[in-house]
Amino acid sequence: MTASQSSTLDPITLEILFNALRSVTDETYIALMRSAYSTNIKERRDHSTAICDAKGGLIVQAENSLPIHLASMIGLMKSLLVKFPLDQIEEGDLFVANDPHVAGGTHLPDVNMAMPVFADGEIIAFVCNIAHHADIGGMAPGSMAGGMSEIYQEGLRIPVVRLYRRGEMQQDLFDLILLNVRLPHERRGDYFAQIAACRLGVRRMLEILETYDSDTLRAAFLDIVTRTERRMRNAIRTVPDGVYDFDDVMDDDGLGTVDIPIRLRITKSGETIHFDFTGTSPQVLGNINLTDNATQASVCYALKAMLDSDIPNNQGVLDVCEITTEKGTLLDCVAPATVAARANTCQRVADIIIGALADALPHAAVGASNGANVTAVFSGVDPNTGAGYLYLETLGGGFGGRNDRDGKDGVQVHITNTSNLPVEAIEMEYPLLVESYGFVTDSGGAGEFRGGMGLRRVISPVDHTCTFSGAGERFRHQPWGIFGGASGASGRFQQISVAGEATALEIKPAGIQVAAGEKIVAETPGAGGYGAPSDRDPARVEGDRLSGKFTETYLKTHYGHTAHT
C-alpha cells in the first residue's frame, strides 16, 4: 500500500495505536539514556529512537529525538533491506551500522541499531535507535576534529552487519568493534544500552500485538503516514507560489578552503515545493560534507518548523520534500569524503531555507541562529586513576530573534536538541576544571526582538597535560539578522597561558596540547535579530541593561540610548 491509499481504521483506534507507538519510542529513548555510560548520551541525550515498518518507512520517532538522526535511521533501513531481504532476517537478529557511504549514516560516531518485530511469522516492523558515541576511533580522540581529509581517518566504518544472530551475540564482531575505539569499557556500556533499548522496544511492540492484530497495526502505519503527508501538503499550500533564492557560506573546512558557498532556489506551486541546491560548492577535503540523506533531514526539519512544528516526524514529511543536489558536492558528497562535522553544515542549510522563505512566511522566520555545533574535545590520562578519559561536547549558542519575542540564549538550535553538559557532570567525570561558564557579553544581535546569546566556557586540565581539538562555524561570518535586525557575534577558540597570555586558535583546531594551569576558552556564536533595533520597546532595552548581558556601549550603539539614561 502507498501513502495515498486509505485504510478502514476508525479515528479513535488510530489515535490509540499512534499514542501506543509513541509510548514505545519514548520509553526506549529514556531507557537508553538511563542505561548509557557516557555523558554525551546519559547527560546530553545525543540519541534517538524510532519505529519503522517492514519496508523501512519511518512511522514514529521519539518526542525528544534529534531531527538530524531522522536521516541516519532512514538510511540504515534502506541499506539494511537492500543487503538483507526480509526472508533472510530471523527473530532475535539485531543489526548495527554507522557508515555514511555504504550504510546510510551521516557520520561515524552515530551508531545505528535495528531489530525486527515478528507477528504471525512475518516481520511487521523494526525497532531502531541511534546514539552518538564519544569516540569511534580514527586519527583524533573523539573522532570529530578538523584536519581529517578522508573517511578512513575519521574512525571505524561499520557496514550493515548482524551483531546478534537469532538472539546470540557475534562476539568476534563485537571484539573487533571495541578494539578499534578509545575507552572500550565506556563504548561497551553505551552499546549495551542501545541493545537493551532495542529489546525493550520489541517487547513493547509484542504487547501491542496482543491487543491488535498485525493487519490492524499495518493499517495504522499507513494512516499515520497518510495523515502526516496530507497535513504537510495542506501547510505547503499556505506558502505563496513563487521562486525564492538564498545563498550563504561556510567559514572553512579546516584544511584551507574558506567561504564555501551553499546556493538554494525554492520553487513553490500549489501543494508541491522543490529545493534546488544546484551551484553549491563541490565537496571539500575537510569534514563538513553532507551525504544526501543528511541534507534531506535538514530540509524536512526546516520546512516543518516553519509550516507546522507539531507535525510528527515520519515518512509523510520526507515524501513531500522534492530535493535536487549534485553528486560530489558539499550537500551530496561521495566516498571518501569526510563528514564528521556535518552538523554544522546541516545548521547552515536550515538557516538558508529560513532565509529564503522569510519574506513569504515572516511570522515563521527567525534571524540566523548560531549556525554551529561548536565541538570541544578534551582527552588525556587521569592523573588520579591512570585511566584514559575523553570529554566530548557540542556547545549551544544563540537562537534567532522571532517576530514576537527575543531569541533564546545558549541553546542547541534547529537540527540538534541536545542539552549543554552541566559543570558538575564535567568535573565529576573528568580531571578538568570549569573556571567559567556563562553568556558572551553583547553577542545577541540587536533588533526589535534581539537574537540569543552565545556561550562561553573556560576549561583547564587538573594536574596533567591534555589534548584539545575543536570545530567551530560562524567564527568568520556572523549570523545575520532579518527585516533590519543586526547580526549576532561570531564565536572563537583561545588558549590562555599560565602567564595569562591569550592565543587565538584556528576555527577547527586539532591536537592542541594544554598543560596544567593553561586554559581553553570556547565562545559560541550568538544569533541575528528580528526587525529594526529602533522599533524595540524601551522597556525591553531597559531589561537588556538590567540583565547584565549587554554593555552600555552596545545599547547606545544599537538603540541610540538606554532607558536608564
How many other C-beta atoms can be found within 10 angstroms of the C-beta atom of residue 388?
A: 15
- Give pLDDT, residue 84: 96
What cell was used for 115?
A: 531489530
pLDDT in tens, 74-111: 888 999 999 999 999 999 999 999 999 999 998 999 99
Q: Please state, as a whole number, how many other Cβ atoms lie within 10 Å of the Cβ of residue 495.
A: 18
Residue 445 confidence (pLDDT): 98
State the SS3 of 172-191. HHHHHHHHCCCCHHHHHHHH
pTM over 0.85: yes
385 pLDDT tier (thresholds 50, 70, 90)? very high
Q: Which of 529, 419, 510, 443 is nearest to 472 (CA)?
A: 510
Asked if 170 contacts 96 with a C-beta cutoff of 8 angstroms, the reply is: no
Instruction: Enumerate the domain spans of the chain.
Output: 11-230, 366-565
Mean pLDDT across the chain = 94
How far is 210 from 203, CA to CA, in rounded Å?
A: 11
Segment 544-559, tens digit of pLDDT: 999 999 999 999 999 9
C-beta neighbour count of 63 within 10 angstroms? 12
Q: Which residue has the cell 520517532?
A: 61
With a cut of 50, say whether residue 513 has pLDDT above it: yes
Q: What are phi and psi of 335, to 5 degrees?
A: -60, 145
pLDDT band at 3 (very low <50, low <70, confident <90, very high): very low
**pLDDT, tens digit (0-9, with 9 covering 90-100), for 235-248:** 999 999 999 999 99
**Distance, CA of 287 to CA of 49 (rounded, Å):** 26
The pLDDT score that the predictor gives to residue 2 is 42
In the predicted structure, residue 375 carries a pLDDT above the cut 50? yes
- Class of the CATH domain delimited by 11-230: alpha beta
* Residues facing residue 456 across a β-bridge: 438, 523
What residue type is assigned to position 274 of the chain? H
Query: Quick check: 434 and 459 in contact, CB under 8 A?
Result: yes
Q: pLDDT value at position 163?
A: 98
Q: Please give the radius of gyration of the chain, using alpha carbons only, rounded to the nearest integer.
A: 23
Please report which confidence band the pLDDT of residue 4 belongs to, taking 50, 70 and 90 as the band edges: very low
Report whether 357 contacts 266 (CB < 8 A).
Answer: yes
* CB contact at 8 A, 114 and 76: yes
Q: pLDDT for 151-209, tens place per residue?
A: 999 999 999 999 999 999 999 999 999 999 999 999 999 999 999 999 999 999 999 99
Give the DSSP per-residue string, 306-327.
HH-TTS--SHHHHHHEEEE--T
User: Strand, coil or helix: what is 155?
Assistant: coil
Predicted confidence (pLDDT) per residue in 420-479, tens digit = 889 999 999 999 999 999 999 999 999 999 999 999 999 999 999 999 999 999 999 999
> Look-up: residue for cell 567564527?
475
Distance between CA atoms of residues 389 and 154, nearest Å: 19
Among 2-11, 360-369, 480-489, the least confident range: 2-11
Distance CA 454, CA 444 (A): 7
Assigned C-alpha cell, 494 = 583561545
Model pLDDT, residue 7: 58
Nearest to 107 by CA among 79, 78, 136: 136
pLDDT at 131: 95
Number of H helices, E strands in the chain: 12, 20
